Structure 1
Amino acid sequence: MLWVFGSSVGNVPQELSLPLKGLPDSKTGEELVRAFQSWYPDSILCSLPKGNFLALPPQDESALYLRSTVVVDDVYCVFMGVLENIPDLRRHYGLSRQATGAMIVVEAYKALRDRAPYPPDQVIKDLEGKFAFILFDVRANTLFLARDRDGGVPFQWGMSVDGSLICSDDPKITAEAWGNCHMPFPAGCFFMSGIGLMSFDHPLNKVKGVLHEDDKGNISAVVFQVDLLARLRSIPRTGSAANWAGATAVDGE
């Protein structure tokens, strides 16, 4: 799976671009899409507005985790993994017994966007299981990512040389994009346009990127961790379209 998001997606951590300084042959977002298509000729490619792309290979029945995909009212969602409390979530959101993990995430996002008076970290806490998901609202240009506490599903993210945000679970893509650098999406966290990267267990604390270097001084990993000493001024809350546009302020910034 490969997502490519243009530079218009806001509040992406700047640490994600640092490994590119040591990779003169790194590819642009569109070059990564073409490489993906060459590896998976039967893949599905969706070209979205503002330089955004989604590429999905055929579902591999031998894969270690399930994948569900849905598109509802220009909201695209790819869900990877398994929800252990899916019957409870279906009832909570008024969905049928056939509702997949992707459908549940879309409904949760729409509730946050349109109605909910509570912060997004509360929604992620209600998801029990091993999972990662990527949701993109085309009309609102809003990106919503999350990964469970244990990081049970492979999920990496980072920047391409042209400033695109790359999200993938495919080691071929990550090697093409960042060489040997490890760029895992942090377990127990979510990212949302206009809000940024946050821990859903510690929503009042900032999440910072820590750079790891190899013996030659090259960046070998960018690992995001909760800084228990750095507090946010408030928890971002939703409930109207206007609320989604504002980023949470951080003390001292």
Structure 2
Amino acid sequence: MLAVFEKAIGNPPEELRLPSAGNDLGGKKTREKILENFRLSWPESTLFHLSDGNFMALSHEAENPFHPSRSMVVMDDIFCIFIGSLANISELRRHYGLSRGATEAMVVVEAYRVLRDRAPYPPDQVIKDLEGKFAFILFDGKCSTLFVARDREGSTELKWGMAADGSLVLSDDPKTIQEACGKSSASFPPGCLFTNGNGLTSFVHPLHQVKAIAREDDDGNICGVMFQVDLFTRLPSIPRTGSAANWADITVVKGE
């Protein structure tokens, strides 16, 4: 899968830019070039063009047709790509009043709609109800809301990065991320969710901060960045929002 959103919508954490110093593009591509390369590699993919040059794409190539692990759905201008499976999907279908044929992507869309329209509780409460191995990308076209999550164990691959123009890039294919973002990429942290309004948070440890950790090589150059929950830092009652919450507390560690 692949999803690319302009900086104004994706609002990627600035820490993703760290390994590419200054204005060095470091092999990063524009949104147009990223899409062109993806379509050349996966010509049979399903592609949704969103507003302002944003897009979401999913390929079913090389997937076992008897055990599909990828689904994509569009409901009421909400786009969702889901990879993996939900162990409690039958329970979730009943909870949200969905038919037995509802896919994992449909369940996630319905959960998001309840959260958006009626639920008086934070997003982590919704994600905690999802049991299984999964990663999903959801975009609400009506309110330009981006919602991304990965399961607790990180069982399903998901990476994110920053393109040449500052756009947010998300994919389950490491090669796609590497070609699109160069060094400005990292694994999306397990047990976490990201929204373009509240930034990166942990749904496993919602009261603790998710920090960026930069890795340095022997010459003191930043060669990579990762995100992990800081169990020693407790968030205030009203947490800071946006990527600045992570940027203020970035940690640097020396590589081996």
Give TM-score, length-normalised by structure 2: 0.86
The one of 34, 37, 46 equivalent to 1:32 is 34
The one of 184, 193, 208 equivalent to 2:211 is 208
CA-CA distance at 1:218 after TM superposition: 4.7
CA-CA distance at 1:170 after TM superposition: 1.4
> Which one-letter code corresponds to 2:149 in the other structure?
A
Cα 1:44/1:219, change in 2 over 3 Å: farther
Cα 1:181/1:166, change in 2 over 3 Å: closer
**Identity of counterpart residues, as a percentage?**
57
Q: Which residue of 1 aligns with 2:46?
A: 44
Question: How far apart in 2 are the matches of 1:250 and 1:183?
Answer: 18
Question: How far apart in 2 are the matches of 1:117 and 1:154?
Answer: 31
Q: Which residue of 2 aligns with 1:15?
A: 15
Structure 2 SS opposite 1:8: helix
Question: How far apart in 2 are the matches of 1:111 and 1:154?
Answer: 27
Question: How far apart in 2 are the matches of 1:218 and 1:33?
Answer: 30
The one of 112, 131, 134 equivalent to 1:131 is 134
Q: Deviations over 1:105-145 (max 9, x none)?
A: 00000000000011110111111010000000011100000
Give TM-score, length-normalised by structure 1: 0.87
Cα 1:12/1:23, change in 2 over 3 Å: closer
Q: Is the 8 A contact 2:3 2:55 kept in 1?
A: yes
- 1:109 matches 2:112: yes
CA RMSD across the alignment:
2.5
Q: Which residue of 2 aligns with 1:76?
A: 79
Q: Which residue of 1 aligns with 2:169?
A: 166
Cα 1:200/1:216, change in 2 over 3 Å: same
Q: Is the 8 A contact 1:145 1:192 kept in 2?
A: yes
* Aligned residue pair count: 243
Q: Which residue of 1 aligns with 2:252?
A: none
Cα 1:216/1:39, change in 2 over 3 Å: farther
Q: Is the 8 A contact 2:96 2:110 kept in 1?
A: yes
Q: Which residue of 2 aligns with 1:53?
A: 55
Cα 1:26/1:170, change in 2 over 3 Å: same
Structure 2 SS opposite 1:15: helix
Q: Which moved more, 1:165-174 or 1:177-186?
A: 177-186
Unaligned runs of 5+ in 2: 249-256
> Which one-letter code corresponds to 2:110 in the other structure?
E
Q: Is the 8 A contact 2:70 2:84 kept in 1?
A: yes
CA-CA distance at 1:47 after TM superposition: 1.4
Q: Is the 8 A contact 1:4 1:164 kept in 2?
A: yes
Question: How far apart in 2 are the matches of 1:150 and 1:24?
Answer: 31
